[in-house]
A = this chain, B = another copy of it.
Amino acid sequence: MGITKTAAFTKEHNRIAVLLKAMAHPARVAIIDYLLQVDTCICGDIVNELPLAQATVSQHLKALKSAGLIKGTIEGNSICYCIDETSIADLRHYFAQIYSSLETKRKNCC
């Protein structure tokens, strides 16, 4: 025991959980933030932007990448990372739907 019972939940619930989990760390929120701030997506200096060792940053980038939140393409010596719009659009849609669902249903006891 101690392992997430992934198979017991719906595909959709798991899909959302995977995306959220990938972003559920301040370093990874900071990485997304940084990728938004730079105007080009040639981002070879993410390591210098974060208060973490190079190996750790690389791991965080891998986590974001394997969840589909960022894309990385080899650019000669270094790697060009940028945000994958699709996954952000999915999350945006997810929370927008929850919010509008809350607005229309308006619970009356809390």
Interface residues of A (CB under 8 A from B): 4-6, 8-10, 13-14, 16-17, 20-21, 23-30, 32-33, 36, 39-42, 51-52, 71, 73, 80, 82-83, 85, 88-89, 91-92, 94-96, 98-99, 101-102, 105, 107-110
Contacts and interface: CB of A to CB of B under 8 A. Distances in A.
A30 B13 contact: yes
Decide if the interface of chain A is mainly helix, strand, loop or mixed.
helix
B6 A17 contact: no
B20 A33 contact: no
7 contacts: A8-B26, A16-B29, A41-B109, A82-B109, A89-B99, A92-B95, A92-B99
B13 A17 contact: no
